[in-house]
Structure formats: structure tokens, C-alpha cells
């Protein structure tokens, strides 16, 4: 059941009714059952993997809690030395427990998602050494949302390990936290502290929430079905046969892809957040107008925010606060005493490398995605290393960095860098990404834009018009939000005629202009496969 389908809407409607009629005490059971039914409808028996994750993180967290409690009792009235010893011992135990959690959960993810990638690479290596051993490749079906709930589960165990939260004795609450049905598809990746209680507590379904949530769902549908899937038609044509195109057509395809993936992913998140809102649950934001970013760093604070936060919290900090790294820090600081900036940058870059490597790998089991992560790592490294140079240049040229012009330039620069990133993301592999990048600068067929070739890529004049109008609408909405204008609230304040007109135009533009049905092939959400 795709969440951009009528079936999903009907499913949600049934869950809402079930939620309303369930007694307060058991409302969470309704949500959990619905989530499991939704999971079963999508992935059947593969639900077993989610259950393993749920049980493992639940039990191991309890164990972590027990170790902490026992330690507390044991160190009472003990000497300082002994206290330290006991603490060390407990820490080792806890590390072991968290390691088991990591092995189980990353193990499942690793085998199902990355087995062929790793085995393929090992085979290549073995071939290099003329060893005639081959690891066979295997076909796995990815269980729904595995990349998302695994991260959520791990964040829960690690938070318990770090004593940021207490382990939850209620298995139901932990299970619901991992399985909540709209969220399981593509995130946002939730944190236990912020989400679990919200999901578990009974909420009254308010008319206002239904209205406002539905409007967000509607907007999500518009982004996905009218914008993203329409852009995909041209993008697929060009990227599917990229050697045939160059110059403006390539540029157009890359640009379209950037908007496509944004409308696709943000659209899905809006549907998910809208549905949650109907139940009175506010989910974390995953996008904050990323195209208004003035630097690549800022872009990643606005794009797939919950993944970024996760990586910062559990990869960056894990590396930055690890023993070996602290050791390295002291050593490096000593050696580069005279180059404070350099040592600071190098120290920041090391954990960042792991962050971007994980980011790339998380997106998919292929070198292309790792390259994609590395692309951002390199850009950020250059940015950080050359910061003094940039500053000097700005001073030398007397550029007012607070001027609007400069900010627009920053946004444009970021947007271009992001587009190149998206090109890597979309291309079949690294070498084709380079070919496409090169052909982008080939303007020998400049006339193409006038001779109608642009209109032969799957979108005719009418479709192009819809693309442009809907992109403008999306950017206007983003712009208004950027200016702190609450679009949905403002719509709610208008008189009934304006409000209803907006609702009807929204609904019917999806019905009429949406890409679905026999003449089009409705597509899955891009981020659902990660």
C-alpha cells in the first residue's frame, strides 16, 4: 500500500474511526495494531525483522538500565578507588550490551541491504589476487522502512546507554515508537524522548486537527503527484539515455531532479506529518526550505534534518568523544601549536568523514552513494580549510556580507553545489555522473531549446506549463514559510469562500493533474527504498 494512494487514505480513515471509538486507556493499542496491519499489508512476513529489532532493543535497554541500577546500589558507601573500579566494570558490561544491540540490528540491515555490495567488492578483491573464490550474490526484499526504524531503535538503545533516558518497561510503547504507521515509510526519524510518550498518550481527535492535518496531507499529495512524478517523466527520459543529450537539456534534467526529489521526499513527509497531526501527534520537521540555504552546511541542517541530527548525535559524537580520538586530539594540538586553525579544522574533519561516509552508505549499497557522501565531505573540508582565505578575499574586495546581493549569491552557489550532488545521486554510477557533468558544458546543440526537442522528452507544452506553475506555487509556499508566515493558519483565517476554493482547487488539481492511472505509471517514493 503506497501512501500516495486512495487505499492509504481509506486506511487512515478507518484507523481514525477506530481510534475515536477505542477507550482512552487503549488508544495506543489501536495505533500499534494499525501500524502492524499496515506493515503486514506492505511487507508480510518481513515484519519479523521489525519484531526482532523491537524485542532486542527493548530487552537490551532494560539490561542496560539494570546494570546502571546495580552499579548505583553497589557503589553506595564504597571507597573512591573501588567506586572507580566498579564503574569501569559496569561500563565494560554496558559497552558489550550496546555492542550486541548494534550487531543484531546493523547486522540485519547489513545483510539485507548491503550483502551484495560487500560480497561484490570482496569478489573483486579476490579476483585481483587471482583467488578463485566467489561469494554468491543473494536477492533480498527490503522490509518496509528498515533503514528508518533501525536508526530509531539504535538511537533509543544508545540514549539509554548514555543515560539520557531511562529504559522503558512498557514493551508496547517501545513497539509503537518503532512502528508508527505513517512514519515507518520514510521517516522523519524520531527520537524516543520526543516521540514515544506522544504516541502512547491518548489524544482527542479534534476537528481543527483533522482540518489542518488533512490540508498538510493534501499539500503532500500535490507535491508528490503533481510535481515530483511529473518532473520524473523528463528526468527519467534524459538520465535513462544521457549520452543522447547535452547542454541545456542536461541542465534542465538535473534541475528538475533536484526539485523532483525535494517534492517527492518533502511531499511524503508532509503526508506523514499530516496524518500524525490528525491524531494530535506532532512529528519532527524534516525539511526547512532547503533551497534558501546559504551554505552546504546549512543545506544539510534544512534537508533530511532528522537523518542529519541522528548522524551528528550517534556518529559524530561517538567518534568525537571516543578515547582514541581524544588521544589523537591532544597529540595533534601539541604538534600543530602554531597552526591553530589547521589543527582545529583537521580535528573537526575526522568525525565528519565518518558522518558523510555513513550518510552516503545509508542512502544505498553502492559506491555511487559513498561518493555522494564524500562529495559533501570534500566541499565542507575545502570550505573549512580555506575559510581564512575566503575571509581575506571578502575583506580585500570590500564585500558587504550582510547585503542582500551577497546572500543571494550564497544561495545560488549553494544551490549549484546541491544540484551537482543530486546529479551524482541520480546517475547510474560514478562514471556516468562525470559524463553527464561534462556534457552539461557542451552547448553545441544550443538550438535544441528552440527547435522543440525540449518538448520531446515526455512533457509537452501543457505539461511544462503545469510544471512551471506548480513549481512556482511550491517555491512561493516555501518563501512564505521562510518569512515565518504560517500558510495553513493563514488559510484558516480567510472567509469560507476563499478557504473552500483553495481546498477544492487543491483536491481537484491532484485528481486532474496528478500522475496516476493507466496512462501514467504512478511511482513509489524515492526515499522509501533507502
Partner 1 sequence: MKYIRIVSVALFIIIGLILLYILNIILLPEWVTNEGATLSTRGIYEEEKNSLDVVFVGSSNIYNGISPLEIWEETGIPSYSYGSPEQKIWLSYYAIKEVLAYQKPKIIMLDVNEAFSNDYLEEDNIRKLLDNMKFGKAKLEAINDKMLNYDSELSYIFPIIRYHTRWNSLTKKDFQRLFLDYKSTYKGYVLSKQVTPFEGNTNYLEYTEKTDQIQEVSKKYLDKIVELCQEKGTELILIDMPSPHSWTYPRHKAISDYAESKEVEFLELNCVDEIGIDWSKDTPDGGWHLNVNGASKVSKYIAKYLQENYNLTDYRENPNYSEWNNDLEKYLKDKEN
Query: Interface with partner 1 by CB under 8 A: which residues?
Result: 6, 207, 460, 462-463, 496, 500, 503-504, 507-508, 511-514, 516-520
Q: Which is nearer to partner 1, 399 or 505 (CB)?
A: 505
Q: Which is nearer to partner 1, 321 or 500 (CB)?
A: 500
CB of 209 to partner 1, least distance (A): 14
CB of 506 to partner 1, least distance (A): 11
Q: Which is nearer to partner 1, 114 or 516 (CB)?
A: 516
Between vectors from CA 478 to CA 421 and to CA 149, what angle results, nearest 5°? Answer: 60
Q: What share of the chain is helix, strand, coil (3-state, %, to 5)?
A: 80, 0, 20
**Cβ proximity of 205 and 279 under 8 Å:** yes
CB of 448 to partner 1, least distance (A): 22
Q: Which is nearer to partner 1, 100 or 466 (CB)?
A: 466
CB of 519 to partner 1, least distance (A): 4
**Cβ proximity of 144 and 48 under 8 Å:** no
| DSSP, residue by residue, 388-418 | HHHHHHHHHHT--TTSHHHHHHHHHHHHHHH
Q: How far is CA 507 from CA 218, 450, 464, 466, in A?
A: 7, 35, 20, 15
CB of 117 to partner 1, least distance (A): 34
Phi/psi region, residue 441 (left: phi>0; alpha: psi -120 to 50; beta: rest), is alpha
Q: Which is nearer to partner 1, 70 or 461 (CB)?
A: 461
CB of 373 to partner 1, least distance (A): 39
CB of 514 to partner 1, least distance (A): 7
Q: Which is nearer to partner 1, 325 or 503 (CB)?
A: 503
Distance separating alpha carbons of residues 510 and 523, to the nearest angstrom: 15
Phi/psi region, residue 79 (left: phi>0; alpha: psi -120 to 50; beta: rest), is beta
- Quick one: which of 369, 378, 411, 419 has its CA closest to 527? 369
- Quick one: which of 352, 216, 189, 367 has its CA closest to 285? 189
313 DSSP assignment? I
Q: Which is nearer to partner 1, 357 or 520 (CB)?
A: 520
CB of 512 to partner 1, least distance (A): 5
Q: How many helices (H) and strands (E) does the chain have?
A: 23, 0
Q: Which is nearer to partner 1, 206 or 387 (CB)?
A: 206
Amino acid at each position: 500500500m503506497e501512501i500516495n494512494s486512495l487505499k492509504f487514505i481509506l486506511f487512515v480513515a478507518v484507523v481514525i474511526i477506530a481510534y475515536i471509538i477505542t477507550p482512552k486507556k487503549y488508544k495506543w493499542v489501536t495505533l500499534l495494531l494499525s501500524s502492524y496491519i499496515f506493515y503486514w499489508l506492505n511487507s508480510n512476513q518481513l515484519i519479523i525483522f521489525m519484531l526482532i529489532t523491537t524485542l532486542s532493543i527493548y530487552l537490551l535497554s532494560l539490561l542496560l538500565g539494570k546494570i546502571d541500577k546495580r552499579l548505583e546500589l553497589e557503589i553506595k558507601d564504597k571507597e573512591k578507588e573501588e567506586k572507580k573500579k566498579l564503574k569501569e566494570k559496569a561500563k565494560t558490561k554496558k559497552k558489550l550490551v550496546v555492542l550486541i544491540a548494534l550487531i543484531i540490528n546493523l547486522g540485519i540491515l547489513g545483510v539485507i541491504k548491503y550483502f551484495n555490495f560487500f560480497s561484490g567488492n570482496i569478489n573483486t578483491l579476490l579476483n585481483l589476487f587471482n583467488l578463485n573464490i566467489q561469494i554468491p550474490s543473494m536477492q533480498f526484499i527490503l522490509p518496509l522502512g528498515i533503514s528508518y526504524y533501525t536508526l530509531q531503535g539504535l538511537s533509543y538503545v544508545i540514549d539509554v546507554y548514555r543515560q539520557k533516558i531511562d529504559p522503558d518497561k512498557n514493551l508496547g510503547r517501545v513497539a509503537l515508537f518503532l512502528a508508527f504507521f505513517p512514519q515507518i515509510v520514510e521517516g522523519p526519524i524520531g527520537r524516543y524522548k520526543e516521540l514515544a510518550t506522544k504516541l502512547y498518550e491518548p489524544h482527542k481527535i479534534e476537528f481543527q486537527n483533522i482540518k489542518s492535518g488533512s490540508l498538510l496531507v493534501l499539500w503532500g499529495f500535490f507535491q508528490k503527484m503533481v510535481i515530483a512524478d511529473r518532473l520524473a517523466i523528463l528526468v527519467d527520459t534524459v538520465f535513462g539515455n544521457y549520452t543522447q543529450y547535452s547542454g541545456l537539456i542536461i541542465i534542465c534534467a538535473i534541475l528538475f531532479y533536484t526539485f523532483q526529489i525535494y517534492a517527492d521526499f518533502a511531499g511524503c513527509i508532509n503526508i506523514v506529518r499530516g496524518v500524525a497531526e490528525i491524531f494530535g501527534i506532532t512529528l519532527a520537521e524534516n525539511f526547512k526550505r532547503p533551497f534558501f540555504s546559504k551554505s552546504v552546511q546549512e543545506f544539510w541542517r534544512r534537508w533530511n534534518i532528522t537523518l542529519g541530527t541522528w548522524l551528528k548525535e550517534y556518529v559524530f559524537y561517538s567518534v568525537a568523544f571516543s578515547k582514541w580520538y581524544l588521544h589523537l586530539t591532544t597529540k595533534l594540538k601539541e604538534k600543530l601549536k602554531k597552526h591553530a586553525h589547521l589543527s582545529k579544522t583537521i580535528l573537526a574533519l575526522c568525525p565528519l568523514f565518518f558522518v558523510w561516509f555513513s550518510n552516503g552508505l545509508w542512502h544505498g549499497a553502492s559506491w555511487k552513494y559513498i561518493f555522494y557522501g564524500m562529495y559533501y565531505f570534500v566541499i565542507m573540508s575545502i570550505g573549512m580549510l580555506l575559510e581564512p582565505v575566503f575571509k581575506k578575499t571578502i575583506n580585500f574586495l570590500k564585500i558587504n556580507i550582510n547585503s542582500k546581493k551577497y546572500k543571494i549569491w550564497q544561495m545560488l552557489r549553494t544551490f549549484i553545489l546541491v544540484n551537482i550532488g543530486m546529479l551524482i545521486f541520480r546517475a547510474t554510477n560514478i562514471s556516468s555522473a562525470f559524463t553527464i557533468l561534462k556534457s552539461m558544458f557542451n552547448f553545441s546543440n544550443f538550438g535544441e531549446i528552440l527547435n522543440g526537442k525540449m518538448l520531446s522528452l515526455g512533457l509537452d507544452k501543457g505539461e511544462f506549463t503545469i510544471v512551471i506553475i506548480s513549481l512556482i506555487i511550491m517555491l512561493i509556499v516555501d518563501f512564505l514559510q521562510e518569512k515565518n508566515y504560517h500558510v495553513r493558519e493563514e488559510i484558516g483565517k480567510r472567509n469560507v469562500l476563499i478557504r473552500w476554493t483553495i481546498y477544492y482547487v487543491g483536491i481537484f488539481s491532484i485528481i486532474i493533474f496528478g500522475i496516476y492511472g493507466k496512462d501514467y505509471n504512478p511511482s513509489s517514493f524515492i526515499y522509501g527504498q533507502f
